[in-house]
Amino acid sequence: MNLLKSEFRKLVYTRSFYGYIAGAIFLALLSSIPAAFSVNALKAQLSGSSLMDPQMVDGVYGKATGGYLFALIMGIAIMGNEFQNGQAISTFLATPKRIKVLYSKLIVAAGAGIIMMLISTVLGFVGAYFGLSYYSHAKVGSSTFFSLIIAAVVSGAVLAIMGVAIGALVRNVKIAMGGAVIWLQVVEKLIVLFWITGGKYLPSGLIVRNDECKNHPEVTAEIS
C-alpha cells in the first residue's frame, strides 16, 4: 500500500497528469461533436441510412472514446519519467525489489487510465449529444452507452498498461510518446485503410467500437 500511495503521489503531484486528462477530453470532444455532422453530410453515400438510423447514432456516440491516445501517453510518462529524471534511484532505494515497483506502476497507471477514459468518454457523450441535437430528425438516444463505458474502462486500463510497458522498453520519453502517437494516428489508420477488417486486431481497435463498420465501412473511415 505504501508503494501504491507513493506512485499515486508521483502521478497527481505532476501537472502533466492533468494535461493528459485535458488532452483526452479535447480529443473525445473533437471526435464526437463533428461526428453527427460528418454522418449527415455523407448520408447520400450511406445507402439511405441517416441520423435516424440507430446504428449510425451509436457510431456517433462511439466517437466519445476518442481520448484513448492519452491513456497510452500517460502510461509511457509514468514509467519513462522515472528514468528520465533519475527518480528511479530514489524509488529503488526505497523499494529495492523492482518487480514490486513495476506492479505498483501498472496498478496506478491502470486506475488513472480508467479515470481518464471515464471522464473523457462521458464528456464525449455530451459532445455527441449536442452534435446530434443540431439535427431535428436525429435520434439522440442510444442503447450502447453501457457497452461504450465498459469499452472505455477496459481500453483506459489496457492502453495505460501498454504505455508503462513501452516506457520501460524505450527509456527516451519523447521518442516513446512520438512513436506511440505515430503508430496510433498514422500507421494504424493506414493499416485499416488497406485492410479494413484488420482494425480489431490493433490497439485502437480495442476501443473504437466500430459496430457500424460491418454495415458502413466507408462512413467509419470518413468520420474517423
List interacting residues with another protein (CB under 8 A).
Answer: 2-3, 5-6, 9-10, 13-16, 81, 85-97
The smaller minimum CB distance to another protein, of residues 16 and 47, is found at 16
Q: How far is the CB of 7 from another protein (least distance, A)?
A: 8
Q: How many C-beta atoms lie closer than 10 Å to residue 97's C-beta?
A: 10
Instruction: Record the cell numbers describing residue 23, joined without a space.
Output: 488532452
Residue written as grid cell 534511484: 89
Task: Provide, rounded to whole angstroms, the least separation between the CB of residue 173 and another protein.
Answer: 13
Q: In whole angstroms, what is the distance from residue 158 CA to residue 102 CA?
A: 15
Q: Would you say 9 or 174 has its CB closer to another protein?
A: 9
Our CB check for another protein shows the closer of 55 and 95 to be: 95
Alpha-carbon separation of residue 91 from 54, 94, 207 (angstroms): 51, 5, 33
Task: Give the nearest distance from C-beta 16 to another protein in angstroms.
Answer: 8
As a residue count, the chain comes to 224
Pick between residue 75 and residue 205 the one whose CB is nearest to another protein: 75
Smallest gap from Cβ 92 to another protein, in A, equals 6
Closest by CA position to 208, among listed 74, 78, 73, 117: 117
Taking residue 165's Cβ as centre, other Cβ atoms within 10 Å add up to: 16
